[in-house]
Every structure is written in C-alpha cells, then in structure tokens.
Structure 1
Amino acid sequence: MIEIQMLRRLMIWVVPYWTMFAFAIISLITIAVTTSLLPLFIKPLLDNILTSQHGLEEFQFALLAILGLLITRSLASFSCSYATSWVSGKVGIDLRRTLFDKLLALPLSYPKETNSDKLNINLFSEIEHATDSIAQILIIFVKEILTITGLLIVMILLNWEFSFMGFLIAVVIGLIMQFVSQASNSHQKVPSLLITPTFLTSCKHIKSIKLDGSQSQESQHFCNSIDHQRNLALKQVVAKTFSKTIAFIMIATILTVFFFLFKQQISLGMMTVGDASALITAVLMLVLPVRRVLNIQTSPQNKFQVIHNVDALLAQQNETDPGKVEIANARGQIRFEEVNAGNYSQTCPPLFNLTLTIQPGEIIALPGSSQGQERTLIDLIARFIHPASGRILLNDVDIATIKLTDLRAKIAWITPDTRLLNDTIAANIAYGTMRCATEASIMKVARTCHVTTFAREMPHGLQTRIDNQDIKFTENQRQRILIARALLKNPAIVIIDETTSVFDTDCRLVNNALDALIQNRTTLIASSQPNMLGKAHRIIKLT
C-alpha cells in the first residue's frame, strides 16, 4: 500500500516548483479526458460507416474529432513527461544538496555510529531513481483514476445497464493480467547461483581433493547440483506457461460471453453496432488503467525506503560547538595534558594518557605507526573528535572553550590527494573562508608556492580552469595549488597529513613550497617519508 505520509513529505520538496507541477497535473487531466472521450466518437463513426442514414459531414466530424483527441493526448503526454521529469530532477538536486550539506555538518564520529559510507553512497545514487519512480507512481495514480472515472461516465452515457458489467469485466481481466505478471516475475528468479558454492568450495579445497583422490565424487556432486538447478528451472517454466495459458482461456471466455450478450442486444434492436463498439472499446480501455492502479498497491516499498533513509540522515545531530572564547592571534603553542581519546573509528585509534608540549614554530613529525594513533592526535587538535579525559590547550586556552570557527581558522590541514574544484586556479587558492581574498594576496602566495611558474604559460594565467580539457595539470602542479591555498590562510598551525598519500618532495618546487608554508609555523607532519621527517625539529612516536 502506498505510504501517504512519505508522499506528503515528498510533496514538501515539490512546493517550490508548484507551477511546473500544476502544469503536469493539467496535462494528466487532459490525457484522461481525451482518452475517455474516444469511445463517444467511435459510436457515430461506426454507425455512419454501417448505415447510410447519416451524412458525410457527421462522418468527417467524428473522424476529425478522433484525430484531434489523439493529437491532443500525444501533446499532453509529452508535456506531462517533460514536466514531471523536470520537477523530479529539481527535487533530486535539492535532496542531494541537502544531504551533502548535512554530511558536511555531521560530526566525525558519525561513521562509527552507522554504516554511513555504504548508506550515503546508496542514497546519492538512488535518489534520482527513487524520485523518478515515485513521480511515475503519482502520474499513474492520478492519470489512471481520472481515466477510469471518465470511461465509467462515458459507459453510463452509452448504456447504463452494461456499464456495471463492463467495469467488472475490466477489473477481472486486470486482476488476471496482474496475477500472471507477478507470477512471471517470480518465476524469472531462477536460482542460477546454486552451483556457485559447490564450485567455489571445490576450488578452495582443490589440494585436499587431489590428495584424497576424490575428483570423481566431486564431479558427480557438481553434476547433481547442475541437474537440480535444471529441474527447478523447468518447473518454473512450466508454471509460468501454464498460468499464462489459463489466464488466456479465462479472458477469452469472458470476452466471448460479453460479445454474445452484445450480439443479442443488437439483434433485438436495443443497441446499435456503434453503441456496442463504443462500449467494447471503453471496456478494453479500462483494463490497462485498472491493472496499473492495482500494480501500485503491490509495488515494492524500496522506492519509499530511500525517503526513509533521507529522513533518518537529516535527523542526525549536527556537530555541536560549545565554545565561547574568541582568539584573535595564536602563537601556535599546543599542550596536551593527560589526554585520553576513545576509539572513534577504525581511522582514529585510541590514545592513552598523552602529555605533550609543542612550542610555537616547532615542527613535529609523527611517523606512521601500526596503530595509526598520529591520526587521532591531529584530529584532536582540530576538534574533529573530543578527548574522553584530559585537556588540549592552545596558547594556554582549552580548545574545548574556543569557538570552533576561530579555532579552525588558525589551522591549515593539507593532504596531497585533496580534490580540486572544477573552477579556476585562483578560485582553488582562494578557498573556503578565504574566497574573498584580494587578487594581490592570491598572486603573492601563488608566486611563493611556484604556482605562477606554470600558470603564466597557460592562456588565462590564474584564471585558467582546472577542468579545461585542453590543459593537463600534473600531480605536483595540483599539490602546489593546495599548498598555496594553505599559505593564503596564514595559519598559526599547519597539519600535513600524508596518511593516505604523499607529496612529491622529489620535485624541488613542491619541496620549496612546503618549506615556505611551514616556516615559523607550528607544524605537525603525519608522514613516514624521509624527506618529510627531515624537516622536523622533533620526531615523536606514539605508542
């Protein structure tokens, strides 16, 4: 059964596009009206063909009316498809953007609480499919209900005595077709993978099979699995074909009785051939709408599960900021006082009783350990995670009391594999809170980090787009852009994270750019590269 509550929630997203949605509804009404009127014009058309009592003008009018209805219905169908696709596309974009903004606002501990990676990937990939499917359900529901209503009115106008019987026949045929369709879909699920476990087990234990000399037994077991699968498939084909045959016989019998009754009515002069043809047309036209409405009631609910998942994600609590203290200038002194951090995720192993002081301007290297605790330490500094006990102080101020925006404004976190935006070089340097930086300041850091070395050779300089198909940026050029971005921020603390990838320090220009970035700044380098460790004043191994 359709979840009305889910549809109501979805309609909230549709409200900003109500004009196009209203256009789609008008198109649906037009489709229903034109479909319902067709039988009315079939009657005079056939009466005129079979008798000579009516003139040519009436015949031409009926013929042109049918042509006009078909053309109008085609145009309305096109308009409806375009409008619904436009609205569902817009709603899909809004949902994706809302989800993306929500993911950016969630705390770092969110991945531990749910299987978020898989869930989020599925959400983003399935939103478009879900919105399109739900839009199609709404279209079918509105259009088919209106069409059924219109055809019933037309049947009553033609012959009210046969209208009820005709409707029952349409419903019965629709139910039979729906049953056969469901049976066919279930029969299509042939267990083609039944032999896979046997095959994989045999491959896994091939050594013991050879040593035990059991090749013939395993081969016979494999053949038995194949034969069992063949028998299942044969039974399903028989059941599928038999159900279709029975359905065909039932429908043929019903239509035969129906046609016989019409013949009697025509013979008694109680109905013309045109009346009978119009009623038969209306009944046959009722079958498909009835079947579609019935199919909505049995549609899989996974279309609405995506909306459930969206609601569940949006209900998650955003990253909180209890900090009140503002810091204008930070010298970069960091002090850990008996800090203990829990196991937030696989990428953030626990820290126990850490006491450490990092002086302003000091460069600390954190070589990779088997536990990966260096990642936990740098996450603590940026307040991505919180210590279970102990304190972390920046310039003798507990970072838990500092406003999150102020704290993170003093930190530049740089990783070599950060994705650049599909924008200009300058826009990638002036990123985030620095997006309003002056052209002079952007140019200054671009020179310092040797970005201008390659940018001046490009047709638009720093205004060259990263996604320009005619220009291929090398990896070290991209890394220099990232370093320039960090330098423009003028941070008190620099965190160089090489836990997932490394900087091209063999390139002299990248190495010089890194040196310019960390000069006179408190720096933590999470790396095992000898070139990076060589820049440190002190190497700290966490255990």
Structure 2
Amino acid sequence: MASPGTAAAANGSAIYRRLLGYVRPYWGRFLIAVLGMVAVAASETGFVALMKPMLDGSFVERDPTVILWTPIVIILLFLFRGVAAFSSGYVMAWIGRKVISTLRGQIFRHLLKLPVAFFDNTPSGSLVSKLIYDVEQVATAATKAVTILVRDTLTVVGLLGWMFYINWRLAVVLLIGAPLVAKIIHIINDRFRRYSRRIQGSMGDVTQIAQEVIEGQREVKAFGGHDYEERRFEEANEHNRRLNLKLQGTQVASVPVVEFVAASATAAVIYMALSDLDTLTVGAFMSFVGAMMMMHSPMKRLTQVTATLQRGIAAADSVFSFIDRPGENDRGQITLDRAKGEVSYRDLTFRYAEDKPDVLQGIDLQVAPGETVALVGRSGSGKSTLVGLLPRFYDPTSGSIELDGHDIRDIRLDSLREQVALVSQHVTLFNDTIGNNIAYGHLEGADRETIIEATKAAHAWEFIKELPQGLDTMVGENGVLLSGGQRQRLAIARALLKNAPILILDEATSALDTESERHIQAALEVLMKNRTTLVIAHRLSTIEKADRIVVLENGRIIESGHHEALLDKEGRYAALYNMQFQD
C-alpha cells in the first residue's frame, strides 16, 4: 500500500501533467522559450569556461591574442544571453496569460452550467476566489515554475559538467551533500503542499466576508454591524496571515539550510584544491570556484520554486475539482417549438438534500392550458419550491412533472426554459442598460419599438422616458440606482417581451405601491390571457380572479377551488383571507 506522502506526490504529478496540457496548444512558442532557456544556461557555463583561458592566457602567459579577444567574447556572450533571456521570458509570460485566460473562461462557462443546488451550498466568495486568485497561482506554476526548473536545472547540469571536466575528484566531493539536499527538499514539498491547500480555503473565506459586506452594506449600516463584521473579517484575515507566514517561514528557512549544506561542500572542495594546487592551473582553479559560486543562485531558485510549484498544484487541484463537477442533467432529446401549456405534477416529493426533511410531499396537480392557478399558504409551505421545479432549477426526489404530456426531464433544458417566463419577488438586474436588462439572453436583438411596447404594458415607460438616457440608462449593480417598484416593473417588462406560453409570478407585485399595483395588475391580466400561469401571492386580494386557488401547508395541498368556493368552505384559505381583510 502506498504511503500518504507517495499518494499525494502521485496525485500532484497527475495534476501537474494535466496543467501542462493547457500549454500544449502553444508548443511551438514553448519550444522557442525552452531553446532560450537552454541558451541562457549555456551562457552561464560559457562564462565560467571563459575564465580558464582568460586568466591563464592573459594574466599568466600574457598572450596578446587572448587579451584582444576576451573582452569581445564577453560582450558577445552577454548580448547573446540577453536576447535569449528576453525571448524565453516574454514567450513564457505570453503563454502564462493565455493559460489564465483559458482557465478563467473554462471556469466561467462551467459556472453557467452548474445546477442551482450547487450555488445554494457554495459561498460565492469561494467561487470568486477560484476565478481570480487560484487561476493566477495555477498559471504561475505552469510557466514561472517551468522556467526555473528548465533553465536553472540546465544551468546546474552545465556547471557540474564543466567542473567534472576540470577535476572530477573535486566535483564528486561537491556532490556528497546532494542526498541531504534532496531530503530537505522532500520535507519542504510536503509542508508547502499542506499549507498551500489551507491557504486556498482561507482566501475563499476572506473573499466571502468582504463580498457579503459590500453587497449588504445597507444592512450593516442600518443594524450597526460594523464591529461584528470587522471581527469576522479580522479572524479570517488573521487565519490567512498565519498560514501564509508558516508557508513563508518554511520557504525562508529552506534556503539557508540548503545553502549551508552547499557551502560546507564548497569549503571542502576549496580546502582540497588549495592542498593540491600542483594539479590545477590558476585559471582552472578560478573557473572551478566560479562555477561553484554561480551554482548557488540557480540552486537557491530551485529550492524556492518548490513553494511556487506546490501553491500552483494546490490551486490547480481546487480549479480542476470545480471544473470536473457535473453540470445540470440535460439528457433530454425533445425540442418544443411552443408548448400548449398543460402542466401536470404527479405524486411529486422533493427535498433539498438526503439528510433534509421533505419540502413537498405527494403533490398531484393538473393545470390546463391557459389556466391561472394561484398558490397560497404560509411562508415555508413550499410554494416557491413547487414553481421552481417546473423550469428544472431542481429535480424531484420522486414523482414527475409533465409538460404537454412529456416528462420535463425528457425535454432539452434550453427548450423547456424557453417556454417559461419568470417574475420573482427578488428581481435580478445586471449592471447594464435598462434596454439590455429587458432584452436579456435569448431576447437580445429585439428591436427598440418592441422593447418600448413591453415597458408601456408593464407601466415602466412612465419613468424610463423621464430619464436623460432613456433605455440606455445604466441601472447600477443589481439595479441599485432604481427603486424597488421600478426594478419590479422592468422584470415584468422582461417577461412581457419573452412572450412565453407559461408564466410564473412569484410575488410579482410585492414591491409596488397601491396605484402602481393596480396598473400592473391590469397589465398582468392581459399578459395572462391564453397563457398557463402559476401565481404566488401573499396579498390574497390580487388573486381573487384566478381560475383556481391551491392552498399548501407543510408541503401538501390541503385545499383547491375558486375564491368564493374556498371562502364558503371556511377552511384554511378563508382563515388566511379573513386575517388579511381584518388587517
């Protein structure tokens, strides 16, 4: 059985191979960068190799030819090195930004395909952290770490080769410390991997708290939450600081330890060389010592690259785990042009998770094409969940939902949702123009006159025409520059423009004043004609004209009928209605 450390290393290797797959499309440029790295490494060895003839030929033998050509060769060597370093550095940076762009695009596209249940259980801050922070760490591992590994490894190999050429006995002595260095690096790798994974999570916590405060800043101010939020953020921030400090401490400590081992071997080599100078010329000795000195920098970077590599692998593990998550189950083969609107809930039960109680139990409900059905009941009775199952925001735990006789799971998701228009009590607007918020998604490209007609029908044109830029007015983040009633009217205009055969109204008039509500109610009555409509309303006066009223309690249907019939029954609906009437 493999040890945990071996398994982690194997897993890290697999993750890194997958990561390098994102570099594969740019293999031509990558090859140019690698050739540049080879050239840089060769120039390091070339410089120390030049020291031998330079010292022996100029200072010892006073050879005029060597004296003439040595400065020229040095200039050409560093010019060659500069061009090679620039080429490899720029190309690797280009590849790194392409990897970041590709990964971010892939994450965002996958984000759009994930089921609603995933977002219910995942803090948005951790998702933003993956998209911004983790991807940067991944790209650094894919490019910067590769640059150091290739260039500095080749440099060390080249310098070692030169030292073996000068005096193999001294080179062997230098290598005595190699096993100890390898062991130190192995220990460092384990610590880096462990702390890097924790840092990914702590960054998500910091991002999450900051995002919640930004989005809920009105509530923070209104309820005096400054101190509480400051403490929450400080705890998360401090936890992140401590983890990063441990990571940096490991990295900082590893360098002097490795350097001390290397310096000890270097001291032994110099002692042996000085004890037996007869076998070495002055140039050979200085060239050998120069090679040893020049090895320190690449060895130091190779030790430090472990931190970058392990951070990148931990981030890549987080990113790939997200990308590998299954998206919405869209195995339907049926495409509907325009549904008639016959909806049937058959013995439907639903719970949000296996360990949660049933939210809906044994629901049987048939809605005829063009019928308006109002769902009423106390908060938590399952009304919003019931209508949310129709566009497949969730799938039933058991039972089924049918549209025009087809199980909605057999209908392609985009085709199913094309049949449904939704107006929710929680209106979502994007930081775009009013026109683009109304003509959103599949409605993009609708002509301006059609959009204006929809706003007039929703009684939104009254305030839109007064704005300096009209339909081109920016609404701000989630419509913050508009009032609640204005936002709701834009959502109704969006539904009007979609002109879908099925309409879901979840507290669609909740944010409107009495006068606006009357206008909107009249517009909705026109909109609901010849459409299957499911209405959720707490104000029962708004659904008196519904074809049928269904009363839910504790996830079950307990009453169903017309407004007058339910009042005459003097059951739950009558009690709710009388309570509101008295209020």
Taking structure 1 as the reference length, what is the TM-score of the superposition? 0.71
How far does the alpha carbon of each residue in 1:213-247 deviate from its partner, in whole angstroms, 9 at most, with x for none? xxxxxxxxxxxxxxxxxxxxxxxxxxx99999998
Local SS of the residue matching 2:101: helix
Q: Find the aligned partners of 1:382 and 1:433 in 2 and give their Cα distance.
A: 16
| 1:260 maps onto 2:267 in alignment | no
How far does the alpha carbon of each residue in 1:66-87 deviate from its partner, in whole angstroms, 9 at most, with x for none? 3554455455444444433332
Local SS of the residue matching 2:294: helix
Q: Please identify, of 435-444 and 272-281, the stretch whose mean Cα deviation from structure 2 is larger.
A: 435-444
| 1:26 maps onto 2:52 in alignment | no
Q: Which residue, 414, 434, 441 being the options, matches 1:432? A: 441
Partner of 2:562: none
Q: What pairs up with 1:30-429 in 2 under 5 angstroms?
A: 30-47=39-56, 50-51=59-60, 53-55=62-64, 58-59=66-67, 61-70=69-78, 72-74=80-82, 76-108=84-116, 120=127, 123-124=130-131, 125-157=133-165, 159-162=166-169, 164-165=171-172, 167-168=174-175, 171=178, 254-266=265-277, 268=278, 270-290=279-299, 292-293=301-302, 301=310, 303-321=312-330, 323-344=332-353, 349-358=358-367, 360-362=370-372, 364-367=374-377, 369-370=379-380, 373-395=382-404, 398-415=407-424, 417=426, 419-429=428-438
Local SS of the residue matching 1:369: coil
Q: Find the aligned partners of 1:41 and 1:416 in 2 and give their Cα distance.
A: 78
1:292, CA displacement in angstroms? Answer: 4.6
How far does the alpha carbon of each residue in 1:232-277 deviate from its partner, in whole angstroms, 9 at most, with x for none? xxxxxxxx999999988866654444323333454x3x43323222
1:392, CA displacement in angstroms? Answer: 3.2
Q: Find the aligned partners of 1:481 and 1:345 in 2 and give their Cα distance.
A: 38
Distance 1:462 1:244, change over 3 A: closer
1:459, CA displacement in angstroms? Answer: 6.5
Local SS of the residue matching 1:13: coil
Report if the CA contact (8 A) 1:47-1:274 is conserved.
yes
Corresponding letter in the other structure for 1:25? V
Report if the CA contact (8 A) 2:192-2:311 is conserved.
no
1:377, CA displacement in angstroms? Answer: 0.4
Distance 1:510 1:16, change over 3 A: farther
Partner of 1:197: none
Report if the CA contact (8 A) 1:348-1:376 is conserved.
no
Q: Please identify, of 349-358 and 483-492, the stretch whose mean Cα deviation from structure 2 is larger.
A: 349-358
Partner of 1:6: 15
Q: Find the aligned partners of 1:387 and 1:243 in 2 and give their Cα distance.
A: 55
1:353, CA displacement in angstroms? Answer: 1.7
Q: Find the aligned partners of 2:355 and 2:537 in 1 and give their Cα distance.
A: 18
Q: Find the aligned partners of 1:346 and 1:420 in 2 and give their Cα distance.
A: 34
Q: Find the aligned partners of 1:141 and 1:405 in 2 and give their Cα distance.
A: 47
Aligned-CA RMSD value? 4.6
Q: Please identify, of 122-131 and 168-177, the stretch whose mean Cα deviation from structure 2 is larger.
A: 168-177
1:39, CA displacement in angstroms? Answer: 0.7
Q: Which residue, 478, 482, 492 being the options, matches 2:491? A: 482
1:445, CA displacement in angstroms? Answer: 1.9
Partner of 2:224: none
Distance 1:258 1:411, change over 3 A: same
Q: Find the aligned partners of 1:523 and 1:348 in 2 and give their Cα distance.
A: 28
Distance 1:79 1:413, change over 3 A: farther
Q: Find the aligned partners of 1:517 and 1:64 in 2 and give their Cα distance.
A: 86
Q: Find the aligned partners of 1:428 and 1:242 in 2 and give their Cα distance.
A: 55
Local SS of the residue matching 2:380: coil
Report if the CA contact (8 A) 2:130-2:319 is conserved.
yes
Percent identity of paired positions between Structure 1 and Structure 2? 25
Distance 1:102 1:150, change over 3 A: same
1:352, CA displacement in angstroms? Answer: 1.0
Q: Please identify, of 384-393 and 452-461, the stretch whose mean Cα deviation from structure 2 is larger.
A: 452-461
Partner of 1:223: none
Q: Which residue, 435, 442, 464 being the options, matches 2:451? A: 442
1:279, CA displacement in angstroms? Answer: 1.1
Partner of 2:471: 462
Q: Find the aligned partners of 1:91 and 1:416 in 2 and give their Cα distance.
A: 40
Distance 1:481 1:298, change over 3 A: closer
Q: Which structure 1 segments of 5+ residues have no match?
A: 189-239
Q: Please identify, of 424-433 and 175-184, the stretch whose mean Cα deviation from structure 2 is larger.
A: 175-184
1:92, CA displacement in angstroms? Answer: 2.6
Corresponding letter in the other structure for 2:444? R
Report if the CA contact (8 A) 2:33-2:91 is conserved.
yes
Corresponding letter in the other structure for 1:429? I
1:451, CA displacement in angstroms? Answer: 5.2
How far does the alpha carbon of each residue in 1:458-502 deviate from its partner, in whole angstroms, 9 at most, with x for none? 66653455679xx9555555544433322211022222346xx99
Corresponding letter in the other structure for 1:97? G
Partner of 2:551: 540
1:398, CA displacement in angstroms? Answer: 4.7
1:312, CA displacement in angstroms? Answer: 4.2
Corresponding letter in the other structure for 2:383? E
Distance 1:530 1:251, change over 3 A: same
Taking structure 2 as the reference length, what is the TM-score of the superposition? 0.67
Q: Find the aligned partners of 1:323 and 1:271 in 2 and give their Cα distance.
A: 80
Q: Find the aligned partners of 2:257 and 2:314 in 1 and give their Cα distance.
A: 36
Q: Find the aligned partners of 2:330 and 2:521 in 1 and give their Cα distance.
A: 32
Distance 1:539 1:505, change over 3 A: farther
Report if the CA contact (8 A) 1:483-1:514 is conserved.
no
How far does the alpha carbon of each residue in 1:1-22 deviate from its partner, in whole angstroms, 9 at most, with x for none? 5744333322322233334433
Report if the CA contact (8 A) 1:336-1:391 is conserved.
yes
